[in-house]
Amino acid sequence: MTEESINKEQELTQEEERNLRRRNLGFMELGVAGAKISHGFVFEEFLPQLQLERGRRIYREMRDNDATINAVLFAVEMILRAVNWTAEENSKTKGTKEAEEGAMFLEGALFDDMSHTWDDFISEVLSMLTFGWEYTEIVYKRRLGPDSVDPSRRSIYNDGAVGIRKLANRAQETLYKWNIDDTGGLKGMWQQPPYGGPRRYIPIEKSLLFRPHPQKGSPEGRSALRGAYRSWHILKRMQEWEAIAVERELNGLPVIYIPSQILNSTNPNDQRAVQEYLEIVRDVKFNRQGGLILPSNTYMDSEGNPTDIKTVEFKLMASEGTRNIDIGVAILRYQRDIARTILADFIMLGATDRGSFALSKDKSNLFIKAMEGWNEAIAETLNRYLVPRLWRMNNFDRQYMPFLRPGTIAPVDLEEIGRFISDMARSGAPLFPDDELENALRSAADLPEKDPMLSLEDDVTVNRIEPRDMDGNTNNDDTEEEMDNA
């Protein structure tokens, strides 16, 4: 082999290495999501008071103590709990026996056979709105009938398949830290039990992570209440000031008049007396145990005779005039700001003399759209991670794998649909007979589907009952005489 051929072979080898490196780069993850995560702890929040465990405590206080936030979240929870979920067949295999059985299996596993209800699961998932995330552990079971003593095998079914025992919420307050890979991907969650004990690790392969607002790939997402924090922080203090002001305004400001000799005295007894009077002013309350004991001494006149002016006197000083700032208006404005961050400010309509029905309808439609988005996000997570894992555990054919679909949230306006159908018919659009369209309209009106035996396509003759007279004759039973006279 000549030197020229050796060099050529080396050049070809280097070129092959470069091509191989280019191909591998296409499958390599070079960048990171960008969330500020250090040793499993997330520091994406720029306000220190909203970071880590302290932030979770504040979000819980916002949810549990603020009337506006509690009302909005309660409305969201009750509305989404009422949504009807169904398992629908795969569009590619729809109509086959296997696809139908797959949908029935999924509905049975989630809606009928868990140790808790589906509505309870939805309520737990919606805690993501408060904290920005919710972590659910998937607990499987072997379906061996209702008489099994072991809860991991107890089921209303006895087919030996793998079902879902429960979709267990792992409370946000129990988070210790996350297990994050080098590129920012989530590998699992370390949990600290609330009453001590060793920390527990829950891998993501056995879990579901729900977030209302994914942010830079952070597992903690972004709370739906984050934009309301500043308004809530100010409102909380204004409500405290208002309570103090109301108490002072109704009761008056306590004032005690004592001689200046005692106030300026260096005598320990006089100083103790002054301290006792200060405690009276500070602690006096009007209740069934309230009361004061004051000296009855009065001042003496120039001749040494007693006067009507007491040496120690207690009064309640009431304020005069009006305030330049109406704190009630300010509080209402901050409550409206809080509701607006979740597109729920329509609940404040009626709190003032402003607002209309049309405005309320427009705002409530935006709120419903937001809830539909959250519902779709929940469904997307379940269809992407829960259903495929359940199918893999049972070794089912994926081509018959169904998917979960949430129902509609807002009630259908039948008058608007009726006007639309009328307009379509007047324009010449052929609408009926159409069984699929008719069943869709019946479903929107909460009516049963049309009986397929009555379909025109089946060419079934429907026997009509002719009305009869008192003698049992139909209207068509004309006598020959009547016919002749006619």
Same domain, 304 and 432: no
Same domain, 48 and 142: yes
Per residue in 285-336, pLDDT (tens digit) is 665 666 677 777 777 777 778 787 777 777 766 666 555 567 778 888 888 8
461: pLDDT strictly greater than 60: no
Domain extent, residue 437, equals 425-472
195: pLDDT strictly greater than 60: yes
Assigned token pair, 286: 């009007």
Residue 136 lies inside a defined structural domain of this protein: yes
Same domain, 205 and 89: yes
Residues in the chain: 486
11: pLDDT strictly greater than 80: no
Residue 258 lies inside a defined structural domain of this protein: yes
Same domain, 76 and 211: yes
Same domain, 82 and 195: yes
Q: Which residues pair with 207 in a beta bridge?
A: 137
Q: For position 285, what pLDDT does the model report?
A: 66
Residue 335 lies inside a defined structural domain of this protein: no
Same domain, 217 and 295: no
Same domain, 82 and 200: yes
Residue 131 lies inside a defined structural domain of this protein: yes
Q: For position 127, what pLDDT does the model report?
A: 96
In terms of Cβ atoms closer than 10 Å to its own Cβ (0-12, 13-18, 19+), residue 176 is middle
* Whole-number Å distance between alpha carbons of 118 and 393: 21
For residues 457 and 424, the model is more confident at 424
Residue 311 lies inside a defined structural domain of this protein: yes
Mean pLDDT of 60-67: 93
Same domain, 198 and 98: yes
* Whole-number Å distance between alpha carbons of 233 and 62: 9
Q: Categorize the per-residue pLDDT at 257 as very low, low, confident or very high, splitting at 50, 70 and 90.
A: confident
Mean pLDDT of 240-244: 81
Same domain, 174 and 47: yes
Same domain, 70 and 171: yes
Give the end of a domain, one of 294, 317, 340.
Answer: 317
Residue 375 lies inside a defined structural domain of this protein: no
Same domain, 52 and 201: yes
How many domains are there within the chain? 3
Check: CB of residue 401 under 8 Å from CB of residue 102.
yes
Instruction: Taking each helix axis as running N to C, give the angle between helix 435-444 and helix 414-426, from 0 to 180 degrees, rounded to the nearest 10.
Output: 150
